[in-house]
């Protein structure tokens, strides 16, 4: 079995860097201790080793495919995986006891999901969608809805989905036209088309519960007229049987990656008998959906980090086994070739991957911890955690997916021509990863969210809180002489980012919102470099302390040295591009407002 993640690194992230044990002090999580938590993670690894990773390649070779008649053929193993995961609570594990869950912190639950994502990212999506759909019903549905839909989803019998996108609207949710007609019963009648519905149909579930955005007849235009509905493919009847609910899978999309994950086109109400059950109040659907959406954005970022991690591990393994070439100064061709890991450029490619994959995963855990902290705290503390989570969400989603693609490209590159062949997993990981910058809001959408909404909310309070959080780690790093230069470098970048924001806010203050946002993606790139530098400094502080204390119980001296080294690498090779982004952002020219389309020819 090839390595696809590092258990030592996960232990370090969970316990040493992000202190999951601090959560166990809260009532909600007091039933856990560190040993139990780690056993749960290890059970995920075992499940992934046995049931998921061995099917990674075959899921790509035998993609989920529409059967021409409402069905989508999927690999038989999928059912075994979903049922195995459900049996170990990997769908409902983070739900409260009262809802059938194990009341696990997201930090624990999603570390398990990371292992699944790294092992076989096509299958983890099915689990994650079910979790998100059930959580959404639990948060905003009524008791009957919870009782009806949540248990079979957590049991892995029913598949949850999120149904937002429509052919004519794409990312622009304000333009959705799927219509819900009020009836005198407890249900609405829905009619419309939804595309790109992941997991919308497959062979491993008995029923599909689509959390669907639709517009109630007569609702206001735009996002303020959108409501959220539960639309089961088969609706439960009074006698407990299931009745076809006029939800038809009309086709699928074949894709360049994640081919084991079905992507469907759903048609609701072709026969005017698609009953939909309103969740919460009318017209508030988008705000409810954003609970699931925000979770999904963090999950996509984490998945990108996980796939990049799997690619890194595969390329590292190859570099440790493949002899080829000699050092640049070795002139004797009769000397035996060296392992390619000894070539400087190969080390550059490995450390680039390591810094991106591990840095992104650390940020994902930071977000998961914030999510947990939001849910165990109150008042201003809760609000502050939430603000931090909100500003980091688009960053983890985007950094991991954009830089993760670059990282997976380097995994291919370390294998040379072999990396391009289907004999090795790195090319599949590269193909799979490309979707992450598109799922749940493209990079452009995330960047406008960051600069247009998250930076500006509550007069910049989220930015301030983030700066405060980073400052705590800057101070901690100043305790170590070897880390001080990096602490200073990061401090400089934070000041640079503040300066950029002042520059950009000049446009906003003049009311030129277009210009304020026009380079949002460049700002996102800059912020990503800085935030990951922060994660690395945080990781380095922990490693330096371990080395100082000669505490090598959890991981070896070399492991900790590797962390400090990778931090130094990130600051030398990656962070300088933050300044380049700043230069672009401060450039006075507006070049993306061209009205004469012939200029693109």
Residues with catalytic roles? 440
Q: Which of 147, 330 has the CB closer to a second copy?
A: 330
> In this structure, are residues 348 and 448 in contact, taking their beta carbons and an 8 Å threshold?
no
Nearer to a second copy, 8 or 76 (CB): 8
Residue 205 Ramachandran class (φ > 0 left, ψ -120 to 50 alpha, else beta) = beta
CB of 438 to a second copy, least distance (A): 5
Nearest to a second copy of 6, 302 (CB atom): 6
Cα within 13 Å of Cα(306), Cβ side? 27
- Separation of alpha carbons 299 and 295, rounded Å: 6
Q: How many degrees, rounded to 5, is the angle at CA 158 between CA 228 and CA 396?
A: 60
- Compute the least distance from the CB of residue 222 to a second copy, in Å: 3
CA distances from 97 to 31, 74, 89, 106, 280 (A): 11, 32, 11, 14, 23
Least distance in angstroms from the C-beta of 566 to a second copy: 8
Report, in Å, the least distance between residue 243 CB and a second copy. Answer: 32
Q: Which is nearer to a second copy, 431 or 461 (CB)?
A: 431
The residue whose two tokens read 């490619």 is 349
Q: Nearest CA to 454 among 393, 523, 530, 518? A: 393
**Cα angle: 20, vertex 355, 447; to 5 degrees:** 85
**Tokens 């995961």, residue?**
85
Helix (H, G, I), strand (E, B) or coil at 185: coil
For residue 276, list its beta bridge partners: 188
Tell me the closest approach of the beta carbon of residue 115 to a second copy, in angstroms. 17
Q: In whole angstroms, how close is the CB of 303 to a second copy at the nearest point?
A: 15
31 Cβ contact partners less than 8 Å away, ≥ 6 residues apart: 103
Q: What is the nearest approach in angstroms of a second copy to the Cβ of residue 238?
A: 39
Q: How far is the CB of 145 from a second copy (least distance, A)?
A: 29
Shortest distance in whole angstroms from residue 172 CB to a second copy: 4
Q: Which residues contact 238 (CB under 8 A, 6 or more apart)?
A: none
Q: Which is nearer to a second copy, 149 or 312 (CB)?
A: 312
b vs e for 536-568, b when ≥16 Cβ sit within 10 Å of the residue's Cβ?
Answer: bbbbbbbbbebbeeeeeeebeeebbebbbbbbb
Which of 480, 497, 117, 60 shows the shortest CA–CA distance to 306?
117
Cα-based distances in Å from 472 to 4, 437, 541: 33, 31, 11
CB atoms within 10 A of CB 591: 8
Rounded-to-integer distance, Cα 244 and Cα 251, Å: 18
Residue 146 or 501 having the CB closest to a second copy: 501
Nearer of residues 76 and 170 to a second copy, judged by Cβ: 170
Q: How far apart are CA 114 and CA 120, in angstroms?
A: 10
Q: How far apart are CA 202 and CA 262, in angstroms?
A: 7
Backbone angles phi, psi at 6, to 5 degrees: -120, 115
| CB contact burial 483-502 (16+ within 10 A = b; e otherwise) | beebbebbeebbebbeebbe
Nearer to a second copy, 185 or 600 (CB): 600
Cα separation of 185 and 12, whole Å? 54
Phi, psi dihedrals of residue 179, rounded to the nearest 5°: -110, 140
294 token code pair: 């925000």
* Least gap, CB of 398 to a second copy (angstroms): 11
Q: Which is nearer to a second copy, 13 or 86 (CB)?
A: 13
Which of 421, 464 has the CB closer to a second copy?
Answer: 421
Token code pair at residue 22? 């601090």
In the bound complex, what is the minimum distance in angstroms from residue 587's beta carbon to a second copy? Answer: 5
- Measuring CA to CA, which residue among 296, 310, 371 is closest to residue 52? 310
Q: Are 201 and 268 in contact (CB under 8 A)?
A: no
The smaller minimum CB distance to a second copy, of residues 7 and 472, is found at 7
């Amino acid at each position: 079995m090839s390595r696809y993640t590092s258990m030592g690194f996960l232990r370090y992230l969970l316990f040493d860097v992000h202190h999951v044990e601090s959560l166990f002090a809260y009532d909600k999580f007091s039933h856990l201790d560190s040993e139990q938590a780690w056993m749960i993670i290890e059970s995920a690894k075992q499940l992934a080793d046995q049931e998921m990773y061995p099917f990674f390649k075959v899921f790509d070779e035998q993609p989920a495919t529409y059967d021409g008649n409402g069905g989508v053929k999927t690999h038989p193993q999928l059912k075994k995986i979903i049922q195995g995961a459900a049996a170990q609570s990997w769908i409902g594990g983070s739900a409260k006891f009262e809802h059938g869950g194990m009341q696990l912190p997201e930090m624990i639950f999603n570390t398990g999901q990371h292992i699944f994502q790294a092992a076989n990212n096509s299958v983890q999506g099915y689990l994650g969608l079910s979790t998100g759909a059930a959580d959404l019903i639990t948060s905003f549905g009524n008791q009957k809805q919870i009782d009806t839909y949540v248990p079979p989803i957590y049991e892995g019998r029913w598949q949850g989905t999120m149904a937002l996108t429509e052919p004519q609207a794409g990312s622009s949710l304000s333009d959705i036209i799927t219509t819900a007609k009020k009836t005198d019963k407890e249900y609405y009648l829905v009619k419309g088309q939804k595309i790109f519905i992941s997991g919308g149909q497959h062979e491993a579930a008995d029923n599909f519960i689509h959390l669907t955005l639709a517009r109630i007849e007569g609702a206001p235009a735009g996002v303020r007229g959108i409501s959220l509905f539960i639309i089961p493919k088969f609706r439960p009847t009074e006698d407990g049987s299931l009745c076809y609910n006029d939800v038809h899978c009309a086709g699928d999309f074949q894709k360049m990656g994640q081919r084991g994950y079905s992507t469907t086109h759903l048609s609701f109400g072709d026969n005017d008998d698609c009953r939909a059950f309103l969740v919460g109040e009318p017209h508030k659907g988008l705000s409810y959906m954003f609970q699931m959406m925000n979770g999904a954005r963090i999950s996509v970022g984490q998945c990108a980090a996980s796939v990049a991690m799997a690619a890194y591990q595969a390329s590292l393994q190859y570099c440790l086994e493949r002899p080829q070439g000699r050092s640049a100064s070795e002139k004797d061709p009769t000397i035996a070739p060296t392992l390619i890991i000894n070539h400087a450029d190969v080390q550059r490619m490995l450390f680039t991957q390591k810094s991106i994959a591990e840095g992104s995963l650390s940020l994902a855990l930071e977000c998961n911890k914030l999510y947990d902290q939001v849910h165990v705290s109150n008042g201003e503390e809760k609000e502050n955690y939430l603000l931090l989570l909100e500003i980091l969400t688009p960053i983890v989603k985007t950094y991991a997916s954009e830089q993760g693609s670059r990282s997976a490209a380097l995994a291919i590159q370390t294998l040379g021509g072999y990396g391009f062949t289907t004999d090795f997993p790195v090319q599949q990981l590269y193909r799979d990863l490309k979707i992450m910058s598109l799922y749940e809001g493209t990079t452009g959408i995330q960047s406008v969210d960051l600069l247009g909404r998250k930076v500006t909310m509550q007069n910049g309070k989220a930015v301030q809180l983030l700066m405060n959080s980073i400052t705590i780690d800057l101070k901690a790093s100043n305790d170590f002489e070897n880390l001080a230069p990096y602490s200073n470098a990061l401090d400089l970048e934070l000041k640079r980012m503040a300066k950029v924001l002042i520059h950009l806010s000049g446009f906003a203050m003049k009311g030129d919102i277009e210009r304020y946002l026009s380079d949002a993606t460049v700002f996102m790139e800059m912020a990503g470099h800085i935030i990951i530098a922060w994660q690395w400094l945080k990781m380095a502080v922990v490693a330096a302390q371990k080395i100082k204390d000669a505490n090598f119980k959890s991981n070896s001296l070399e492991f900790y040295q590797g962390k400090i080294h990778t931090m130094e690498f990130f600051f030398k090779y990656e962070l300088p591009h933050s300044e380049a982004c700043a230069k672009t952002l401060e450039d006075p020219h507006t070049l993306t407002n061209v009205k004469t389309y012939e200029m693109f020819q």
